[in-house]
Chain A
Amino acid sequence: MIHFHQVSKRYDNGKEALLNINFELDQGELTFLTGHSGAGKSTLLKLIMLIERPSGGRMVVCNQDVAKVGRSAIPYYRRQIGMVFQNHQLLFDRSVYDNVALPLIIAGYRPRETGRRVRAALDKVGLLDKEALNPIALSGGEQQRVGIARAVVNKPQVLIADEPTGNLDPELSAEIMDLFDQFSQVGVTVLIATHDLGLIARYDHRLLSLDQGRLISDGFDRPDHLQPHLHERGF
């Protein structure tokens, strides 16, 4: 579903944020992307969203060669991908319902279909009773769930999240992770960028590790210092 082949990204200022990245994510896979601050996690997600263009290599997302997606095709490309942000990027001039409905309105769904899907997405994240509120009246965890509902309301094939649990306590993080798990169960490819090592240790998902823009490990093993966490979980 997501295929990186020798992908590099050099920013205009000469910074090599990613170097010869190779990996492949299958449909329905849930994967963590980790690395120190500045390792290139956000850059990698931006390449998938076509917020940035790779400066080298080949990327195939949802069976499309990303290099062939022209500027005018970007919006349609992005509709296949849901994105969750650390600062959730909600609009505070409208209700929770309207925030979640935005991708559907953009995609031209009819109001009835929009209503059905928005309620289904809000139900999924447990916020059905908050649809009429302004997101500013919600807690951090609730706001993050609104962001997730918006990311999945269009039933994307790929869901990517940049530090989705960044500001949340472990309990709320677990709730969020449960949601991602459920989406991957129904076939959505999920990629979560995080430097929350505790979170990574608590789950047995595949892990991509970046260091200085290079992919230094790819697999289900955890770094040594996280091993105690794994035993706790009886894994």
Chain B
Amino acid sequence: MAPKTPAQRTAPRGATAARTTFRQRFDSWREHHKEVALESLRRLLATPLPTAMTILVIAIALSLPAGLYVMLKNAESISEDWDGSAQISLFLNFNTQEQQGRKLAAELARRDDVKRTEYISREQALAEFEAQSGFGDLLEELGENPLPAVVVVYPAVTDLTAAESLRTDLDQLGEVDLAQLDAQWVQRLYAILDLGRRLVVALSMGLALAVLLVIINTIRLAIESRRDEIVIVKLVGGTDAFVRRPFMYTGLWFGLGGCLVALLLIQTVLWWLDEPVQTLSALYRSQFELSGLGLRVSFLMLLGSVVIGLVGARLAVSQHIRAIEPG
């Protein structure tokens, strides 16, 4: 049979490609992505039980650090209104006369960062000590009152650092032997909160890794189950990106779905805790209200989860798709 001349051939592919504009190509690209995304979703929904289990595992792993974070945030808001509970005790030196001490207390009360002050004379201090400790006899035997006079300063500032700097300030005064900030429980709480914050970070990293591994494994199985299809796609000219794409969307859906369920879980737990917290808060005559994750953090969490999904998919795909070749 004689070969045909080129003129007899139908238009080659290249001619069509040249006719399509950038805009058209972009449209078809976008259309294709939409299709692939929906197709990936359909595939996940076609096997509801395994999908739900994977999503739930991801959700639980995400809601642990997020839940801890919410707890911390609420604890922080409690510690923010410690107002009134902290006080600075100024122990005056022994050669300060009572009159001098009262004058100092009055002066300090006029400061902006001080709400009010209280003067406790040496005698009052002794009486209080005797009443509270029951060691009165012991002190009597000493013969002399060992207690100094005290000016109790109630700071007007409500945060711990400001209170601390006020204390340092007052410690410089000539009459003052020792200035002591009594906010130990706040300080302890701060230390616990700091610990908690580190715990959230460590937990987040550990569980993010767990989510990543779950996604990698799930997608590895998905790739394995579509081996034949991948071979055919490669044979008819599918690029690595094309082969990768549905799995990337699978990762994205897992990340998104897992995070949404995690947010739902946290919200449910908050709602469940709300009533006892209200009761407790009323008992303390506090205005305290449970707050949730907040829009910004929820959004960041969603973003992070999607990124983990995509990274996991990408890792799984680059590990396995190259190995699946026609042959």
Contact = CB atoms under 8 A, between A and B. Distances in A.
B232 interface: yes
B3 A110 contact: no
A49 interface: yes
B8 A49 contact: no
Contacts of B16: 113
Contact of A27 (B4, B239, B242): B4
Nearest to A105: B32
Given A80-B13, A186-B10, A75 B234 contact: yes
Contacts of B326: 49, 51
A149 to B, nearest CB: 12
Interface in A66-80: 72, 75-80
B274 interface: no
B239 A75 contact: yes
The A interface, classified by DSSP as helix, strand, loop or mixed, is loop
B31 interface: yes
A136 B27 CA distance: 33
B9 interface: yes
Contacts of A185: 4, 8
Contacts, number: 103
Interface string A59-93: 00000000000001001111110010000010101
Interface residues of B, number: 35
B30 to A, nearest CB: 11
Nearest to B14: A80
What's the interface size class on A, roughly?
35 or more
B24 interface: yes
Contacts of A108: 25, 28-29, 32
A30 B3 CA distance: 9
A27 B235 contact: no
A52 interface: yes
Contacts of B325: 51
Contact of B4 (A106, A107, A109, A186): A186
A154 interface: yes
Contacts of B228: 89, 91
A33 to B, nearest CB: 15
A109 B28 contact: yes
A40 to B, nearest CB: 15
A187 B12 CA distance: 10
A26 B236 contact: no
A106 B233 contact: yes
Interface of A: 26-30, 46, 49, 51-52, 72, 75-80, 83, 89, 91, 93, 102-103, 105-111, 113, 150, 154-155, 157, 184-188, 204-206
Interface of B: 1, 3-4, 6, 8-13, 16, 20, 24-25, 27-29, 31-32, 228-229, 231-240, 242, 325-327
